[in-house]
Amino acid sequence: MALPLSQLPQEIIREVRQRKGLAFLLFVVVSFAVLGAGFIWPYKYQADTIIFVDDRNIIAPLMEGRAVTTKINDRTSAARELLMSRTLIERVASDPEIYRNASMDPDALEGRIAKIRSGLSVRPRGDSYFSIGFSSTSQMEAFRVAQKLGQVFIEETKDRKRSESRNAYDFIDKQVKSYEQQLTQAENRLKQFLSENTDGTEQEANSRMAQLRNQLELAQLEKEELRTRIASLQGQLNNIRPTIRQGRTEDAFRERIRTLEERLDALRLQYHDTYPDIVITQEQLAELKRQRDLAAAQQGGTTSLDGEEAVNPLYQELSAALSKTRADMATIDTRINSLQRLMEQQTQRMERIQGNKAQYSELTRDMEVNREIYDDLLKRREKARVSMHLDIEGQGLNYRINEAAQFPRTPSGPQFSMFAMAGLFLGLAAPFGAVAGLLQVDPRIRARKQLEDGIGLPVLIEIPEVRTPFEKRRDRRVTMMVGILVVLTAAVYITIVVLAQLGVI
């Protein structure tokens, strides 16, 4: 049964008073053990190199959009990972300026590498600063290693930035050359396809088809006009005599005049008076009438019955016009047949174009995609070139040593004074802590509440402890003796601490 917490302080004091000797012995052992630990505890010396991350220089806004500066995310973590790498630590561990006359055999080198790794620390110090620290029992070693780690880190980051930008440029340049070859091959395939398929594009074929269709429609209209003209000429020929009787008197002129008038009437059915044939016919009529009047005047108005059959010139002219119109009709028929044949060929051409359209689109698409990627890679290569020169010149994101490592004059971590104070405190607290722990596991009943809780019955009376006068005198003598010993022990303890701080021991 656990002792109630309200009774715990009282029982602790009672147990310590009863066991004064053991409490004093525990006090001495704990306090001098902690003090001894302070004597043998190795002092650690810490040296730090402060690194400044310069990512706000004037180059960044000037080159924005034209170059990409190398960036490192989570600078402290990246610096820790880089410094913990074996390559960098091995460079420090094998530096003869730090470890002079040190053995360079593999076992000794591995020991120094492990020691550097255990003492290395990287801590952030604000937004743009972090520290590279090293702790060691040797002041000179801590100073030189911290200084060397800062230098090695700066050199390695610069080398890595240059290598990264150079590799990026080489990679993009290689991709540019690769896509240049692909673009050339795509252009050659398209050129070969166009040379093998000379039908042209779909737009050209549609334009040619529309042109042929228009020509065919015009030819068909002209054919209808010629057909109408043939019918008209044929009707006129049917109404005209092939021959006429041509006399030597006024009758001959009258017949010719009548023929020309009929022809003039036929022409006026189709043309205006300004038509050249109508004008010529009118002039011929006027001339015939003049000759008729002249002949009538010479013969005295007599009428002659003599005459001869002659070819009717109007009939002859209409026949010639009909023949010419029929020839034009044959020409129009030939043109229509030719246009229809060309349209059939054009239809076949369009079918071939449609068949090659998918292949042409694929070749064109491949060439355009390769050209876009090639142009984009050219721009990126120039940006990578500028970025590479920026890193070579040390611009962009840059690390600088803001504060070099200083020689550590005082140790870091727990010092002897702290062990001394902790020894007294722990020595005084040890007896009480030990008794408190013992009371928690002691099965004996020390309070009324423990008994009542255990048996479930109330305790009627509690008999106090009674000591004789002799026991009281003996207890006082023991208490006085332990107090004197505690004072003497404390004096010795303080004396040792003072002498140690003065450097006497």
441-490 pLDDT, tens digit each: 766 766 666 666 667 667 667 766 777 888 778 888 888 888 898 889 88
User: Do 15 and 446 touch, CB atoms closer than 8 A?
Assistant: no
Question: How many CA atoms lie less than 13 Å away from 388 in the CB half-sphere?
Answer: 17
Q: How confident is the model at residue 341 (pLDDT cuts 50, 70, 90)?
A: very high
**CB under 8 Å to 424, separation ≥6 — which residues?**
31, 490, 493
Question: What was the pLDDT predicted at 221?
Answer: 92
pTM for the whole structure: 0.45
User: Do 90 and 109 touch, CB atoms closer than 8 A?
Assistant: yes
Question: What was the pLDDT predicted at 249?
Answer: 53
H or E element at residue 389: helix 313-392
User: Do 254 and 292 touch, CB atoms closer than 8 A?
Assistant: yes
277-329 pLDDT, tens digit each: 887 888 888 888 887 777 777 655 444 444 455 667 777 888 888 888 888 88
85-121 pLDDT, tens digit each: 888 888 888 888 888 877 778 888 888 889 888 888 8
**Closest by CA position to 395, among listed 172, 70, 164:** 70
**CB under 8 Å to 209, separation ≥6 — which residues?**
343, 346, 347, 350
* Average pLDDT over every residue of 342-363: 83
User: Do 281 and 269 touch, CB atoms closer than 8 A?
Assistant: no
* Average pLDDT over every residue of 238-263: 72
What are the E-state strand segments in 187-266?
243-247
Q: Which of 217-226, 391-400, 411-420, 493-502 is least confident?
A: 391-400
User: Do 252 and 306 touch, CB atoms closer than 8 A?
Assistant: no
Query: Rounded to 5 degrees, what angle do the CA atoms 471, 473, 476 make?
Result: 110
Query: Rounded to 5 degrees, what angle do the CA atoms 89, 93, 96 make?
Result: 140
d(C-alpha 118, C-alpha 112), whole Å:
10
Q: Which of 3-7, 72-76, 266-270, 371-375 has the highest mean pLDDT?
A: 371-375
48-65 pLDDT, tens digit each: 888 887 665 433 443 344
Question: What was the pLDDT predicted at 336?
Answer: 92
